[in-house]
Structure 1
Amino acid sequence: MGAFHLQDTGRLDSMLASFTDSAVDTLSASFSICDAGARTNCVVDGDTFWHQGEKIRIADIDTPELSPPRCARERQLGEAAKRRLQALLNTDRFSLIAGWRDEDRYGRKLRTVKRQGRSIGDILVSEGLARRWDGSRHPWCD
């Protein structure tokens, strides 16, 4: 009585996807590369950035580490991912979509970044600068 139940989680996933995909892209800023100064709107690496003073971890991808990289290849890919994320964020308006967890253990907000319903993470993955996040880190060095 009065309770809402979904019999199969596929329906729930589908409903949530259609809701989040229809989000209006209202956010924008001029993003720089983060340095030692104040961090308001800047990119830390390929999957972490600051927006309006809040640290955001892109929830659906993993990119090469920069602090510290474990090999020259990881450094090169990490720098390319960082620059590409900066360019993508500066291109046009975007949306930040919350998932099942609000924050990670480091206090970063976990968000999927979308533009016109497409994940910016998917763009980085398609360009070889990121991997889909599967819950654990995998090495970028051979």
Structure 2
Amino acid sequence: MMLGSLAVLALQQTEFGQWLATSTPAANAEIHTSFAPCGSDRITCVVDGDTFWLDGVKYRIADINTPEVSSPQCASEADRGREAGLRLAELLNEGPFTLAPADRDEDRYGRKLRVVERDGRSIGRQLVAEGLAHEWQGRMEGWC
């Protein structure tokens, strides 16, 4: 009897040259964990409204774009970006979710691209409905 979900194991080199074993959940495996805003340790945490770390792997929500917090173009974008990140953490913490494959595995920054779903509905689309995200159109849209 197997317990838990299937995972793909990988080795990832840290910035200090150490090797870290990471795993990515199998498609449609339910994820049960707790998220908080990221600090210096980026194992399982929320970076912003469309980016999070899970078990040492960085993910980008594939179907949305949210305001930037690291390089905002205006104060309003920074405020909305913080709000989107806090809301994403709330949504991820509301219960089990799945990571569905996107049109490609990774973006140009090496982040895993996934559609985050709960009960078959996109959490990203919920952020869009709440005004905290834009639907991803293949390019960044302004927030100022």
TM-score range, shorter chain: 0.7 to 0.9
Alpha carbons 2:28, 2:100 under 8 Å: kept: no
Larger strand percent: 2
Cα separation, 1, equivalents of 2:72 and 2:28: 36
Where does residue 7 of structure 1 map in the other structure? none
Following superposition, the deviation at residue 25 of structure 1 comes to 5.8
Where does residue 12 of structure 1 map in the other structure? none
Work out the percentage of aligned pairs sharing the same amino acid.
56
Where does residue 122 of structure 2 map in the other structure? 119
Where does residue 77 of structure 1 map in the other structure? 80
Report which stretch shifted further, 124-133 or 97-106.
97-106
Where does residue 16 of structure 1 map in the other structure? none
Counterparts of 1:6-45 in structure 2, within 5 Å, are: 26-36=30-40, 38-45=41-48
Cα separation, 1, equivalents of 2:45 and 2:28: 22
What amino acid maps onto 1:65 in structure 2?
Answer: E
Greater relative CO (CA pairs within 8 A, separation 6+): 1
Following superposition, the deviation at residue 113 of structure 1 comes to 0.1
Cα separation, 1, equivalents of 2:32 and 2:136: 25
Larger helix percent: 1
Following superposition, the deviation at residue 41 of structure 1 comes to 0.9
- The CA RMSD over aligned residues, in Å, is 1.2
Cα separation, 1, equivalents of 2:135 and 2:87: 16
| Matched length | 118
CA offsets 1:57-96 (integer angstroms, 9 cap, x no match)? 0000000011111111101110110000000001100000
Do residues 103 (structure 1) and 84 (structure 2) align? no
Alpha carbons 1:25, 1:93 under 8 Å: kept: no
Higher CA-based Rg: 1
TM-score (norm 2): 0.79
What amino acid maps onto 1:123 in structure 2?
Answer: Q
Runs (4+) of structure 1 moved beyond 2 Å?
none
2:141 partner SS: coil
Cα separation, 1, equivalents of 2:127 and 2:121: 11
Cα separation, 2, equivalents of 1:27 and 1:46: 18
Structure 2, unpaired ranges of 5+ = 1-26
